[in-house]
Amino acid sequence: MLSNNDVHRIDNRWLLIQGFGMDADLSGLRAFIATAEDLHFGRAGARLFITQQALSKRIRRLEEALGTPLFERTTRSIELTAAGRRFLPLAVEAVAAFDRAVEAVRVVHDPIRVDVYDERFTPLRMVREASERDPRLRVEVSMRQGLAVALPALRRQEIDAAFGRVHDLPGPWPEELAHRLVRLEPLAAFVPEDHAHAHMSELRPADLRVGGIAMPDPAGAAEWRGYLKRLADHLGVPLRFTEPAIGERHLIQQFLREKSAVGLGETSIDATGSGLRRIPLVDPTPLIPWSVVWHRRNPHRLLPVLLDHLPPVNRPDPADRRHWIPELDMTPVTSSASAPPL
């Protein structure tokens, strides 16, 4: 059995587990900590954005390396073993020490790593404008095409900030992450020049109820899928998902195929030369709520600089029927909040 004497702190609080021939398994430690805190494999997996099966494998691998079980499992519940209770505070300290060690060796001039969701959307322009205004901002951009996909990297501090919609994500909101609403971007309809609505100067919900909305499948972007479903339900129009779009050209090709349904995109998208017409949506105009998300303990010196260039924006007045965001998005998300079913 694992005892306190098996675990020793060395060199700046890092841990070496002696007598088991194991290297530090960070993914296993993180899986163990999450499960020990929740005492529920499903909730712990959701926190780490991995499947329950993957979580169980990581814990089994850690237990095999330690040579002792960390949990007592029954058909109805799980509990920490005596060894698990002794191991938990040291595992928490080990992971925290590793995260601090990684930050300590970062080169002081490292660029800030920001996930901007996708090249088609507003966050890329926001980051570009911030870097043009402030020469201190050296930015390394990634595009994971979904906040749900970016959150695990944010939690591991592999990236320093990410943009996206913070509601309709799988699992509870991670307590260690902060967020701020920074943009409400209007949506417009995009239709080919021979579309049934191409002659119209603006579109209302009644105009969309025959052909509906056709959008590329958001794939891993659960929050974007949730937004589209809530929008379609609010407008009372049918919604159809097509194959995922691989890049902007593929998206345009999909929109050009539609002769009755409309595609949606940010009003700021320039459709010149694409064969598409951009038509405003009114009564209401849907707004995309873009938030910036970051780790509360991220020490990167450029993170406060970036956040200073991204001031908060106010949510629309619920009484203003000219604009719409999901009712769910009218309040900040919290770690205890859960989305109502779509």
* Residue range 221-231, pLDDT digits in tens: 999 999 999 99
pLDDT tens by residue, 158-208: 999 999 999 999 989 999 999 999 999 999 999 999 999 999 999 999 999
C-alpha span between 30 and 36 (Å, rounded): 10
Indicate whether 8 pLDDT > 50: no
Higher-scoring residue by pLDDT: 119, 198: 198
Which residues in the chain are classed under CATH 1.10.10.10?
4-104
pLDDT tens by residue, 12-26: 333 444 333 345 578
Which residues in the chain are classed under CATH 3.40.190.290?
184-286
Q: Is 218 helix (H, G, I), strand (E, B) or coil?
A: coil
pLDDT tens by residue, 89-109: 999 988 888 877 766 665 456
Tokens of 113: 């790593």
Does pTM top 0.85 for this prediction?
Answer: no
Cβ 116 vs Cβ 142: under 8 Å: yes
C-alpha span between 89 and 72 (Å, rounded): 18
C-alpha span between 300 and 99 (Å, rounded): 13
Q: What is the CATH number of domain 184-286?
A: 3.40.190.290
Q: What is the CATH number of domain 4-104?
A: 1.10.10.10
Which residues in the chain are classed under CATH 3.40.190.10?
112-183+289-317
What does the mean pLDDT of the chain come to? 87
Q: What is 112-183+289-317's CATH superfamily?
A: Periplasmic binding protein-like II (3.40.190.10)
